[in-house]
Structures are given as C-alpha cells and as structure tokens.
Amino acid sequence: MKITPIEIKEHKFKKSFLGYDKNEVNALLGVIAETIEEATKQNNKFEESIKDMTANLAEHEEREKLIRETITTAQKMVEDLKNNAKKEAELIISEARIQADDLIKKAHERAVKLQDEIYQLKRQRLEMQTSIKTILEHHANLLNMAGQEAVQGDTQDDRLKFIKK
C-alpha cells in the first residue's frame, strides 16, 4: 500500500488513554517504512539507470567525437587526394606538352632537312640536265662536223672522181 506525503500530513490518530493508539501509529509507521523502502529501491534503480545512461552518453559522445574526427580526416584525405590528382594531371599534361613540342620540333627539323634534300636533288637534276645537254650539244656538233667533213670528203671524192675520169 502506497501512501502520499499529503496523506501522512493529514492523518489523524485516534486518542487513547495514554495518548495515541499504539497499533494505529505502528501500522502507519509500517506503511511509511514500506513506502520509503519502495521509494529508496526505486530511487536506487533510477540512480543506477542514470549511471548507466551517463556511461552510455559518455560512450556515445566519445563515439561521436571519434566519428567527427574520422569524417574530418576523411574530408582532409579527399581534399589531399583531389589536390594530388590535380597536380599529377597537371604534371602529365606538362610532360605531354613537352613531348608534343619535342615531336613538333623534330618534325619541323625533318621537314627542313627534306626541303634541303629536295632542293639539292633539284639542283643536281638541273646540273645533270645541263651536263647532258652540253654533252649532247657537243656530240651533235661533232656529228655535224663529221657530217660536214664527210660531205667535204664526198665532195672532194666526187671532184677526184671527176678529175680521174
């Protein structure tokens, strides 16, 4: 049986010859003792629950702190990875540009070299043509001269034949 503080304050004991009725006072004290014992047990349970909840709260707060630190670390790592990837990409692009410039330079040098070779070959062809033309003209002159000599020789032979006749 539970008793409230108001009921205890308002309780009126019956009077007996020497004062209050002893049985009634003892019965009330028993009820009060049970109520206080029950309240003490409940209070102890609550205090135990509070200790458990406080420990759980501290544990959860520690976990939350650890999770926040982990998230912060992960975010920093992601940023570092992004920055490293960006730097690596810039380095790759820079190396590719250097290689491309080198290839372009080599191609340009090769083109200049080929143009020089083409020019040299054209000059050689022209020299060969001139040389062949000169040789042909020389041989043509020789043939003309030989032909003229042959004609003169024939003319002289004809004259000699005419004279011999």
* pLDDT digit string, tens, across residues 41-80: 999 999 999 999 999 999 999 999 999 999 999 999 999 9
User: Identity (one letter) of the amino acid at 85?
Assistant: A
Please say if the pLDDT value at position 154 is more than 90: no
Q: Tell me which residue of 51, 30, 52, 32 sits closest to 40, measured CA to CA.
A: 32
- One-letter amino acid identity for 90? E
Number of domains in the chain: 1
Distance CA 94, CA 112 (A): 27
Please, are residues 2 and 37 in contact by the beta-carbon 8 Å criterion?
no
Residue 21, Ramachandran bin (φ over 0: left; ψ between -120 and 50: alpha; else beta): beta
Q: What residues make up the domain containing 60?
A: 5-164
Residue 164 predicted with pLDDT over 70 = no
Phi, psi of 16 (to 5 degrees): -125, -170
- The percentage of the chain sitting over the pLDDT mark of 90, rounded to a whole number, equals 61
**pTM for the whole thing?**
0.45
Inform me whether the pLDDT recorded for 12 exceeds 90: no
